[in-house]
Chain A
């Protein structure tokens, strides 16, 4: 799974949480909680969905690494990469 695929999965899951938001328009470096107006419950649902879909472990301590779109892609890519080796 390359970065583009991961980005697509993330966007799909964000869309499930905030279907009324235009994801094409968001800044990939911006804090998703601000740009999508998502709260701690939404964010937990997002983490849960990513965990179920991609099987990556995301401890709570790592949440800050996933608050931007770019950050989430990099984090998940690293996790998936390290699992293969």
Chain B
């Protein structure tokens, strides 16, 4: 079960898209997990063959629980068997084992201890009956607390664990968007941000008339499904600036900043009925602008339909939020932890503006930067924000 955000502790497996024997390649969508943020598609990070499904449908399992066992291509040639962590207690005489996570390892858990078995329980003794029952129901023994002699896991313990899973499955809703749960997730992330991140804020007024003129010209000859929106140029400008200013692109974790070489821009997407999420548009600094637009459209549609992919939720390196053509002039974003910056675009307005010594009407937008003062200072932030504005003066180079 991958971590799909700092605030996620568990997820419910609602759909398997592969079965044992299926061949998979890196990036394939293998399962759908329901979280507070809706139904999330889980991608696989290894190529190989699905050997065993470890978590059954409608089971709610903690972050870090192996979901499936995969035989990687390397192992297939070596004739060995892959197994996902953690190792079972007292493994039978087995070939060399190799851990193959289906997702990147979750971040270290937050300070409060989890209400699961203490560390090391995986090495505790397990009765054969308990093991059989656990295997039959794909229960991860590391999530079972033993009540037998010396903490050994006995049949009754697995039964109790199973009862919990069944009860939770019954409460499960249809996959999709749950705005109440989403609100809870937003509350947790934003409260953490305001508690932990010393934000500083900068604002810059930028003339985007060149972008509008360029778009009008481009779109005039294009059918609707190939037209570009100003939002794509905004994302691109932030992505290119982030590549040049690495102090705004990455994660602040465990007391230090980890810059990211890749630029995955989180796109804040409002969902009617008061929902908000910011999935990643991957490699927004690299892909051609037309592809960026296509992917942005796809991302918005899937997000609003409740079909986001796991990697899109977990790995944005910087976020862009835009109020579009309605709303107000300026917005100051709150950084989504563990990111370190968010760029905000207000409503575009026609304003008197001085160009070449004369006043004329121009389309002007307020761009803001909220950044983490543990990582950067206002001086660097100002250069970063000015770079975004400069990039928007030459849309044909975006």
Contact = CB atoms under 8 A, between A and B. Distances in A.
A41 B273 contact: no
A62 B43 CA distance: 41
A59 B300 CA distance: 23
A47 B229 CA distance: 13
Contact of A44 (B220, B229, B273, B326): B229
Contacts of A33: 325-326
A9 to B, nearest CB: 15
The majority secondary structure among interface residues of chain A is helix
B326 A60 contact: no
Contacts of A20: 272-273
Given A33-B326, A58-B224, A45 B301 contact: yes
B325 A40 contact: yes
A7 to B, nearest CB: 20
B27 interface: no
A51 B224 contact: yes
Interface residues of B, number: 20
B297 A51 contact: no
Contact of A41 (B220, B300, B326): B300
B212 to A, nearest CB: 11
B297 A41 contact: yes
Contacts of B230: 40
Nearest to B273: A20
Given A39-B270, A44-B224, A60 B297 contact: no
B231 interface: yes
Contacts of A47: 224
B229 A41 contact: yes
A60 B227 contact: yes
Contacts, number: 44
B356 interface: no
B395 to A, nearest CB: 15
A68 interface: no
Nearest to B218: A60
B272 A51 contact: no
Interface string B347-371: 0000000000000000000000000
A40 B322 CA distance: 11
A40 B229 contact: yes
Contacts of B296: 41
Given A18-B272, A34-B326, A44 B223 contact: no
Contacts of B216: 60-61
Nearest to B224: A48
Contacts of A22: none
B178 to A, nearest CB: 14
Contacts of B219: 60
B272 A37 contact: yes
Interface string B326-340: 100000000000000
B231 A41 contact: yes
B170 interface: no
Contacts of B272: 18, 20-21, 37
A48 B225 contact: yes
B324 interface: yes
A21 B326 CA distance: 19
Interface string A12-31: 00000010110000000000
A39 B224 contact: no
Given A20-B273, A60-B220, A39 B227 contact: no
A6 B223 CA distance: 21
Contacts of A58: 224
A33 to B, nearest CB: 7
Given A44-B229, A60-B227, A39 B324 contact: yes
Interface in B293-312: 296-297, 300-301
A61 B173 CA distance: 44
Contacts of B229: 40-41, 44
Interface in B269-287: 270, 272-273
Given A44-B227, A61-B220, 7 more contacts: A20-B272, A39-B325, A40-B325, A41-B231, A41-B297, A44-B224, A58-B224
6 contacts: A39-B324, A39-B325, A44-B227, A48-B225, A60-B219, A60-B227
User: Which 7 residue pairs of A and B lie closest in terms of their CB atoms, listed nearest first?
Assistant: A48-B224, A47-B224, A39-B324, A51-B224, A48-B225, A60-B219, A41-B300
